[in-house]
Chains A and B, each alone.
Chain A
């Protein structure tokens, strides 16, 4: 009986071992035989990260050089975007309906200053992504290209997207591009007024951009040279009340300060 039990135990033990071996072998084979499942999103991120790694290495090499050799090295060794652009282009062309390609479009726009995108790209974006919230992140890189087609597209988004929030993002991108541009100050002001009036609650990355623009705009009007200074009613640090108008009749240097 005892012996029989031992045999039985042995039998089951061996069987279990073989069974486990079979499972692990099968799973290993499965991994080896089917290619790793990657999404377009992962593939795109991998390409962008590979470029970033190359860029970091390049900058590290530049830093290691003596000052007089840096410029020559920069000229000859600066990482080229071409191979990354064509890798991203392949993913775009085979995954036209996957919103992950917006990230690839943004990268291409940035590293080719817009020349890497063509009319059919913009047509495709207009057809499929005009109302997709993900397009919001593509707008700043398009604006930064300073490329006419890219800017025209952002303009089109600001007019034609069915989503108010997306139109607001596009207007804001167009406005920021003109901020500080003396020659186009009228255009800038028109955009700002439109954002303040039509999109008063616009938030971008958590910032109340429309409200901030309104504060700045009002300040520019009310605090311009030649305007009467707005009254300040407050107190010193000990709680003694003070007013700016207490100093009427004196010249006041109003100094916003901190001792940090």
Chain B
């Protein structure tokens, strides 16, 4: 996810787009990962455990788990990765750009 995430964020830098993490590491491991993997996007920290409150509410039992949410806050894709993730994000961007401005 990290190199792919970095390139996706770079490609979308002028678009209304973000990666938002929910991290289940210990605080130390999380800080280390951010530094070493050059992670620039924000993350919720889920208390240092895989059974943290956010993972529990979202019934996450395997990692990584990915949801793609559109600008209106609607879940549009689940566990879409790699190229398919890029295509999904492109589709949603196009959808936004072609929708009449409100």
Contacts and interface: CB of A to CB of B under 8 A. Distances in A.
Nearest to B60: A256
B29 to A, nearest CB: 6
Query: What bracket does the count of chain B residues touching chain A fall in?
Result: 35 or more
A224 to B, nearest CB: 7
B22 A215 contact: no
Interface string A223-260: 11111111010111100001011011111111111111
* Interface SS, A side: mixed
5 A-B pairs with least C-beta separation: A219-B59, A259-B33, A237-B45, A234-B44, A250-B16
Nearest to B77: A225
Contacts, number: 151
* Interface SS, B side: mixed
Nearest to A232: B54
A18 B45 CA distance: 80
A132 interface: no
Contacts of B72: 228, 248
A216 interface: yes
B64 A255 contact: yes
A258 B69 contact: no
17 contacts: A219-B59, A223-B67, A228-B72, A229-B69, A234-B44, A236-B42, A236-B45, A244-B20, A245-B73, A251-B16, A251-B89, A252-B20, A253-B19, A254-B66, A254-B69, A256-B65, A258-B63
Contacts of B53: 234
B22 A255 contact: yes
B70 A256 contact: no
B4 to A, nearest CB: 10
Contact of A232 (B17, B18, B22): B22
A124 B97 CA distance: 70
Given A225-B77, A250-B17, A251-B17, A236 B57 contact: no
Given A254-B20, A257-B21, 16 more contacts: A225-B75, A225-B77, A227-B74, A230-B58, A236-B44, A242-B44, A245-B73, A250-B17, A253-B69, A253-B85, A254-B67, A255-B66, A256-B22, A256-B63, A257-B43, A258-B63
B94 to A, nearest CB: 11
Which of B27, B32, B57, B65 is packed against the most chain A CB atoms within 10 Å?
B57
